[in-house]
Structure 1
Amino acid sequence: MTTPPFDAPTQLDIQTVSNQLGRQARNVLGIAARCICGAPTVVATAPRLDDGTPFPTMYYLSHPAATAAMSDLEAAQIMPSLQQLVESDEAVGAAYLAAHEQYLADRESIAVVEEIANISAGGMPVRVKCLHALAAHALAAGPGVNPIGDLALARGDWSPLVCECKEYPVDAASAGH
């Protein structure tokens, strides 16, 4: 099996993600997406945690500004319109199903965990449940893979192309500041 393309995490990455989350990062397999400055934005998490707990959310949004932007969108109640789009637009529904299948393939390339078989994240393939997870997948997979994640990123007030990482302990030499 091949593993999805992501960077192996450095100690600085783990420290940064821990600071972003406000708790110790755990079971981080890699950094699946980064800010323009190089700071972690999405972590790839093991499908089974060290304590044995199945963990379906392989792509986890860690960047505080990105997380806040997705929370703002959820609070603005955009999920029902995105849900309607999945249900009413055949092309969007098919792309959302394909995103779900790609997510499962990525996770299963790491490990197959029977307890979470066919469960991806964010409500895929038929519901729009968590914009954080869908945006994380869109950032990790790249544009055009997860249509709802792409729409959430486009509608939010955060961009991975604009650095908002100044308050995090990112080594300027290694992160490109």
Structure 2
Amino acid sequence: MTQAPAPQDLEALAEQLGRVPRGVVSIAARCACGRPAVVRTAPRLDDGTPFPTSFYLTHPAAVKGCSTLEAEHLMEEFNAELAQDPELAAAYARAHEDYLARRAELGQVPEIEGISAGGMPTRVKCLHAVVGHSLAAGPGVNPMGDRALAVLAERGMWDPEHCHC
């Protein structure tokens, strides 16, 4: 059962995002200190806009770390690995199916049917999205999100086990 976010969660999200959060269903993952790290978002926003990103990374240090890794073209390395490793590609395809199933729990939106996030199921396009999914779903569900989290931790950019607030 999904629990609605507490008022202090919505305040923290607004601070993190620099705007009023939209479509918030719950907090899908938290920093070690308890502040939001990933928000679970409705597949259709209140204004009717389809929103495929069910797991939206909000923690400022995690967002910054993912942006840095994207600027350094880590996705190219990940995409090369996906192309070379059929087992990894199959695991990533399963992550796509998991993402779709979790979003379907919140409702069906025909405009985004079959579309997950982050480039799944065939490529890594957005580290923010795959990291958000990994944090929300837990280790072992999204291999590319898990890999990006490992790089963030190895480089001291962000680690969900330690507060970076």
Aligned twin of 2:164: 164
Which runs of at least 4 in structure 1 moved beyond 2 Å after TM superposition?
none
d(CA) in 2 for partners of 1:132, 1:7: 23
Aligned twin of 2:115: 119
2:86 alignment partner, one of 86, 90, 93: 90
How far the C-alpha of 1:8 sits from its partner, in A, is 2.5
1:32 alignment partner, one of 25, 28, 33: 28
- Contact 1:61 1:133 (8 Å CA) reproduced: yes
**The residue matched to 1:107 in structure 2 has which SS?**
helix
How far the C-alpha of 1:57 sits from its partner, in A, is 0.2
Structure 2 gap ranges (5+): none
- Tell me the alpha carbon deviations over residues 50-91 of structure 1, each in whole angstroms, 9 at most, x when there is no partner: 010000000000000000010010011111110011111111
- Contact 1:7 1:32 (8 Å CA) reproduced: no
d(CA) in 2 for partners of 1:110, 1:77: 33
**Does residue 53 of the first structure (1) align with residue 49 of the second (2)?**
yes
d(CA) in 2 for partners of 1:132, 1:50: 23
Q: Over aligned residues, Cα RMSD in angstroms? A: 0.9
Aligned residues: 161
- Tell me the alpha carbon deviations over residues 64-122 of structure 1, each in whole angstroms, 9 at most, x when there is no partner: 00000100100111111100111111111000000000000000111000000000000
**The residue matched to 1:32 in structure 2 has which SS?**
strand
**What amino acid sits opposite 2:162 in the alignment?**
V
**Does residue 153 of the first structure (1) align with residue 149 of the second (2)?**
yes
**What amino acid sits opposite 1:49 in the alignment?**
L
d(CA) in 2 for partners of 1:86, 1:148: 9
- Counting aligned pairs with the same residue, the percent is 56
d(CA) in 2 for partners of 1:87, 1:14: 40
**The residue matched to 2:8 in structure 1 has which SS?**
helix
d(CA) in 2 for partners of 1:85, 1:158: 23
**Does residue 20 of the first structure (1) align with residue 23 of the second (2)?**
no
- Contact 1:46 1:55 (8 Å CA) reproduced: yes
